[in-house]
Amino acid sequence: MLALHRMTAEPAAPADLGPAEAILIEGADASAFAHAQFASDVRALGVARWQWSAWLDAQGRVRALFQLGRLDAQRYIALLRGGAATALSEALRRYVLRAKVALTPLPAHALAATEPLDMHALRGDGDAFEFGLGARGLRVDARAAPADFARAETFRLADVRAGWPWLPAAALDAYVPQALGLQQLGAIALDKGCYPGQEIVARLHYRGGLKRQLWRIGSAAAIAPGATLRHAEQPCGVVLNAAAAAGACEALAVVHRELPPDTPLLIDDSSAPATLLQRFPP
C-alpha cells in the first residue's frame, strides 16, 4: 500500500475557518466508485495529490462540490465546500450496491488556514490533512485552530478573487458546473466516460446555452452567503462565498449571463448596492 507523505513540522499559527465537513472514501473499489460517480477524472489523481471535483444529479446540477484528495491506493478524502458530510455520505451510499467501498464522515474536525503548500499537494499526519493551494494551505484537523479573524478573512478573500466557490444551501442542487466556474478549475471531465449529469455538462460545453455565470462582485455593505441579488426588482443572482476587503466586501455570485458589467444590483430586499467586478470564464 502506498503511504501518504507525512508532515515534518506543524504549520505556523493556523487560523480558524470553522467546522470542517469531510468524507473518507475507502476500500478496494474506492477508486472505481469515485470515478463513476464524480465529475472529475479520478483515475488520473495520484497519491498525495488533490483535485477539484463535484457530484451531479441527472440534470447536471451540482449536488456537492469538494476537494478530492488521494491518501493512498484505496483511500480518498473529500473536503466539502458546502453541505453536510453526513447527508452526502448517506446519499452516496445508495449507489454503492455491491462495491467494496466505505463512506465515513469525519467527526468533529476543524478547518484552518495555514502556511503555503504547493498547489494540489496533499499531506497528512494522523487526524490532520493539509491541502496545498500554492500561496496558502487548507488544513483539516481534529484539533481546533486559534481564532484569527484577520487571517481568516484574508484567506476567504483569496478564494473569492481566485474564483473558488463555497456553496451555501441556496446553491446546492441548483446550478450546473459551468455556472459555478467549475470547468476552469478542472472539476469536470468531458472525455472520461459516463457519470451522473455528464450528458448535460457535455451539451453545454459543445452546444452552448449556459444561462448563468460566475462573477466577483463588490459592495460597501456586508454581503452574506446565500443572499439574493436583484436588478429592476427581479432576482438575478445568488451570493456564494464572501469576505471583507479593505472596509468593503467582495463575494462570488452566480448571476444571469445576459446582464452587462455596468448593471446596478441590490442585495436581498435592501437598498444596499453591489457592483459586478469580474466575470469568470465558464
pLDDT in tens, 93-111: 999 999 999 999 999 999 9
216 to 181, 191, 265, 280: CA distances (angstroms) = 11, 29, 13, 8
Q: d(Cα 120, Cα 132) in Å, to the nearest integer?
A: 5
Helix (H, G, I), strand (E, B) or coil at 146: coil
For the chain, the structural domain boundaries read 15-108
Q: Indicate the pTM of the whole model.
A: 0.93
Check pLDDT > 90 for residue 6: no
- DSSP assigned state of 262: T
Per-residue pLDDT at 4 exceeds 90:
no
Q: Is 132 helix (H, G, I), strand (E, B) or coil?
A: strand
The single-letter code of the amino acid at 211 is: K
For residue 282, give the nearest of 201, 225, 194 by alpha carbon. Answer: 201
pLDDT at 282: 62
Report whether 18 contacts 111 (CB < 8 A).
Answer: yes
Give rounded-to-5 percent helix, strand, coil for the chain.
Answer: 20, 35, 45
pLDDT bin (cut points 50, 70, 90) of residue 12 is low
pLDDT in tens, 132-186: 999 999 999 999 889 899 999 999 999 999 999 999 999 999 999 999 999 999 9
What CATH fold (topology level) applies to the domain 15-108?
Alpha-Beta Plaits (3.30.70)
Cell numbers found for residue 98: 455491491
